[in-house]
Structure 1
Amino acid sequence: MPKPAEADDRDLTRAGYVPQFRRGLGSFAAFAAGFSYLSILTGIVQNFHLGYREAGPAFFWTWPVVFAGQFCLALCFAELARRYPFCGGIYAWATRSGSPVLGWLIGWVYLASLVVTLAAVALAWQITLPALWPGFQILDTPARNAALLGIVLIALSTFFNVLGTRWLALLMTTGVVVELVAALALIALLLGHAVRGPAVVLDVGIPGSTAGFGTVGPFLTAAVMAAYVMYGFDTAGTLSEETIDPRRRAPRAILQALLAAAGLGALLLIGALVSAPDLADPLLSDGAGGLPYLITQVLGETRGSVFVAAAALAAFICTLAVHAITSRILFAMARDRAIPFASRLGRVHPEHRTPHVAAIVVGVLGCALLVVNWNAERLITALVCVSIVWSNLAYLLTTGSLLVNRLRGRVSTGDSYLGCWGLPVNVLAVGWGFALILNIGWPREQLYGSEWYERYGAVLYSGVLLVAGVVVYRVVRRGIVR
């Protein structure tokens, strides 16, 4: 009987690929990769103020709604991860379940989203580090200081992503353990300092200023916070070629990561709302305050600093995970000769067994966006919102391709990971994808800016991305492996 790793590599050789990665990720490491990307101590800490600003304490209800929709996507991705255990995640899945052209389009859109996400996550250090020690406020201008700290963070992430999967797995596993312990301790302490009951989540007495859509409008805008946190759960599938027994472990890790992040995130939001000393405090809805300010208020400077430090560590681990998935999608496309400079980007370091060139290029692109943030903070803020549209567009195209295959009878119920539930879950995933893209891309002044070209940034930026994609595709289309 072949060794497990050799059996796993059979899928690669049958697909025409030479196994190049070292399989070292077990069940918990695969889960850690997905949970690191979701990272509630990064996303919620970074964006709590946005949801609170728009809908007050009742913005909590956007969290379970977004989770329900994203869980339908995760179930579809679990099925695809079991069927296609290849590096590249949704790019590889769509290439095989749909067509090389569709896979390329999804890879292009998702890559753009991930590069922006990498820069956005790196900006989280500006929220946490200066709160720990004023000396981290090196530059007077917050936007420029955020860019400086972010560049340092991405440089560290590039180093560890090049160093090897073993170090990457060790860091992400350790970081996730610390984050899980810190999140549970923080939730317990916040609930222990409760000054009101959980009925606060029904309080809409501090509404946002969203125009239109009546009383629903603030909640539609506040949902951006939950949408920003709950994507990237497909990371475990993207690392399939580095996972032992990926057909079994990757699907389970995708679902476990989203479930754990959603459950802990809901408890953290409730803990924050019931323990806030003053719900009318304007700093709760201000980017300069938000959740770090609330934690320090409730727990005091010393204990509060411990959890802010945990949030800073979580941002580092999240950056590692985003960097890892981005570099592997770039590598997977290069391996298929689907992007320019494929011969260089498709290399794996013979000793470290990492896509080192792709990792370096991703780091450079992320730093370039942070340089733009130096003088154009508003532009990057809008681009971060647009990147959520792009990621969910890639998700929609992937689940849409799977749905077409189901309707054409190419996915049998007996062979499906979801069994008889496959079709209804797939339909819900596609419908949810349309709704989420429409909501986040809606021309809102609060998210994009007051000028017309800012408010319609989602459409304009997406148009530029697709036009650029057409140009690049015309260059590489003859080289795409079919």
Structure 2
Amino acid sequence: MFITAAVLAEICSALPLSGSIYIWAAESAGPKYARFFGFLVAWWACTAWMTFTASNCQTTANYIVSQLAIWDIYFPGGVGNDNIQWRALIWAISEGMLLLSVAMNYLPPRVYSTVFKFGVFIIMLDFFLCLIWLPIGVSKTYGFRTAKEVFTTTYNGTGAPPAWNWILSYLFTAGTLTGFDASGHIAEETQNASIVAAKGILSSAIATGLLGFVTTILFLFCTPDLDTVFALDAPQPFVQIYALALGQKASIFMTIIAVIGLIMNTTVAIIASSRLVYAVARDGVLPLSGWIGAVDSKGQPRNAVTIIYIFAALLLCTILPSQVAFTSLVSAGGVPTIAAYALIPLLRLVCTPSNFQASHFRLGKWAKPFYVCAFVFNLLVFAVDISPFYFPVTAESFNFAVVIFGAVSIFAVVTYWIFPEHQWLRREQIMKALENTDNLVTNASGDVDEED
């Protein structure tokens, strides 16, 4: 994923535009196929980012309601997704978390920097508490797992063949390393975007990867034995792990930190996704594009934020009839993003290997190896994301992510044929963008500078 981030940073530096990922795909495909791949990735990206917002809110709700299991609080009908009252509680809390995150997106733009910084502070606080406090608590309670258990023990709870069961572990680890293209979506509101936005892509991927690796190893040592883990019945088992290691009252504090971090995470995600939706609407692709693509007196895409709220709120309503339906919908959230991460390096390798020379993050001699590596790895992750998670496959265990992804892709192709060329991504626009990204001047000393 570091290599994928480097590939995206190279393009972002040359094309720091709102809605960047579909623009990157279009320009990577070259003039002949730009519109087609632009449409495809535009719909992929909108689906992924708007779905992620709803998913994050439900994750936040799971942390909160897990405290009921910690304190053995009775809930009418029992705790479980087969209870309509329980699903209604999850839905109500999720909608409240969504409303809170959306409300912060209506604040003045100057506040966004504070939101970003506070979000980073909370996440780092959570990280260091897990790094320091959690091991101390584990050492005084149920004790650490051995290195042999951590590094050699395998468990097949999927019913898949052993090799594919191991590969399925990428579902969560690689899923965490997505969304680092977010800084590109707000590039038009970023000073010195050709450097800062691209650097944001690289730094966020690297920080998540390195800190995530440390966290994964830490949790493997601090997690109780498998029998204990599988006996945990809370929607978010980590809340119960905190209670086992640190105590019930301490678990409340850790839950509050996690909830605040998730709220800030959702807020930032809405900022990024609203810029993406705004850019797609501005170019005339979405229904009601004229309204969605409008900005307020301060240049903020408030209507795009409203659309994301409506979409996410409606998506959360699917929790009420069936938790399986909601899970199937949100499971498709990561698939379009990974597909775009695989497609862009492939297009760079095949269609435009010598373009984007104006980038401040040129890959040089590493370009083609990086394109191949990013394509192959993301293709593997894509296969994991659409794979069944339990075998043998039944109607209840079927992963509908592939169906949803296919439906969105078909819709993108249909809109590509319906919308006339003059309405979105005209050929002259594509050619002008390509010309600007490669418009260089070589001075007498051999250095390369961008033209104004």
Could you tell me the TM-score, scaled by structure 2's length?
0.82
Structure 2 contact 14–356 (Cα < 8 Å) conserved: no
Tell me, yes or no, if the aligned pair for 1:284 and 1:291 is still in contact at 8 Å: no
Alignment check: 8 A CA contact 1:73 1:395 kept:
yes
Structure 2 partner of 1:392: 338
Q: Distance in 1 between matches of 2:224 and 2:101?
A: 37
* Counterparts of residues 44-443 of structure 1 (less than 5 Å): 70-98=1-29, 99-132=34-67, 141-192=85-136, 193-194=138-139, 195-196=143-144, 197-205=146-154, 207-213=155-161, 215-283=162-230, 288-351=235-298, 353-407=299-353, 409-410=354-355, 417-443=362-388
Q: Does the aligned pair in 2 maintain the 1:163–1:354 contact within 8 Å?
A: no
How far apart are residue 90 of structure 1 and its match? 0.5
> Which structure has the larger Rg?
2
Cα displacement (A) at 1:145:
1.7
Q: Give per-residue Cα distances to partners, 1:243-287, cap 9 Å, x unaligned.
A: 111111112211211222222222222222323344420447756
- Decide whether the 8 Å contact of 2:275 with 2:304 is kept in 1: yes
Aligned AA (2:157)? S
**CA pair 299-203 structure 1, distance change in 2 beyond 3 A:** farther
Relative to structure 1, the CA distance from residue 372 to residue 233 in structure 2 (aligned partners, 3 Å threshold; closer, same or farther) is same
Structure 1 CA distance for aligned equivalents of residues 234 and 171 of structure 2: 15
Q: 1:82 to 1:329 in 2, by over 3 A?
A: same
Q: Distance in 2 between matches of 1:189 and 1:471?
A: 54
Q: Kindly provide the CA deviation profile for residues 376-400 of structure 1, in whole angstroms up to 9, marking residues without a partner as x.
A: 2102212222222222112222222
1 or 2, which has the higher helix percentage? 1
The secondary structure found in structure 2 opposite 1:280 is helix
Q: CA deviation at 1:363?
A: 0.7
Residue aligned with 2:300, SS: coil
**Residue in 2 that maps onto 1:463:** 406
3-state SS of 2:211 partner: helix
Does the 8 Å CA contact 1:114/1:326 hold for their aligned counterparts?
A: yes
Q: Which amino acid in structure 2 is aligned with residue 455 of structure 1?
A: F
Q: CA 1:415 to 1:257, structure 2 compared with 1: closer, same or farther past 3 Å?
A: closer
- Name the CA distance, whole Å, in 2 between partners of 1:142 and 1:311: 21
1:74 Cα deviation after fit: 0.7
Q: Is contact 1:337–1:481 with CA below 8 Å preserved after alignment?
A: no
Q: Is the 8 A contact 2:53 2:270 kept in 1?
A: yes
TM-score (norm 1): 0.78
User: For residue 402 of structure 2, what is the amino acid of its counterpart?
Assistant: V
Q: Helix, strand or coil for the counterpart of 2:333? A: helix
What whole-Å deviation, never above 9, does each CA across 1:183-214 have from its counterpart, x for those lacking one? 11221122333433444321425x1332333x
The number of equivalent residue pairs is 407
Q: Which segment is superposed worse, 420-429 or 297-306?
A: 297-306
Letter in 2 for 1:397: L
Deviations 1:167-192 (A, max 9, x none): 23312211211211221122112233
* Partner in structure 2 of residue 51 of structure 1: none
Structure 1 CA distance for aligned equivalents of residues 231 and 377 of structure 2: 30
Deviation at 1:97, TM superposition (A): 2.9
Q: Which amino acid aligns with 1:156?
A: L
Give, in angstroms, the shift of residue 411 of structure 1: 5.1
Structure 1 pair 146–414 and aligned structure 2 pair: CA distance change class (3 A): closer
Return 242-251 or 356-365, whichever deviates more: 242-251
Secondary structure in 2 matching 1:162: coil
Higher mean Cα deviation, 430-439 or 127-136?
127-136
Label 1:148 to 1:320 Cα distance change in 2 as closer, same or farther (>3 A).
same
Change (3 A) 1:166 1:450: farther
Check whether the contact 1:83–1:247 (CA below 8 A) recurs between aligned residues. yes
Cα deviation, 1:124-182, whole Å, max 9, x if unaligned, reads 12222224578998997332222211111211222222323322331221121121122
1 CA distance for matches of 2:224 and 2:401?
Answer: 37
Q: Which runs of 5+ in 2 are unaligned?
A: 77-82, 427-452
- Aligned residues: CA RMSD: 2.7
**Distance in 1, Cα, partners of 2:75 & 2:306:** 27
- Offset at residue 417 of structure 1 (A): 1.9
1:338 and 1:323 mapped to 2: Cα distance?
Answer: 20
2:66–2:236 CA contact under 8 A, matched in 1: no
Per the alignment, do residues 293 and 86 of structure 1 end up closer, same or farther by CA in structure 2, a change over 3 Å counting?
same
Residues 310-336 of structure 1, C-alpha deviations (whole Å, 9 max, x = no match): 110111011112212221111111222
Q: CA deviation at 1:460?
A: 2.2
User: Structure 1 residues 178, 100: CA separation in 2 closer, same or farther (over 3 Å shift)?
Assistant: same
Q: 1:364 to 1:280 in 2, by over 3 A?
A: same
Take 1:136 and 1:116, find their aligned partners in 2: how far apart are those partners? 32
User: Partners of 2:47 and 2:218 in 1: how far apart?
Assistant: 35
CA shift at 1:236, angstroms? 0.8
Whether the 8 Å contact between 1:228 and 1:388 is mirrored in structure 2 is: yes
For residues 269 and 470 of structure 1, do their structure 2 counterparts lie closer, same or farther at Cα, with a shift above 3 Å needed?
Answer: same
- 1:370 Cα deviation after fit: 0.4
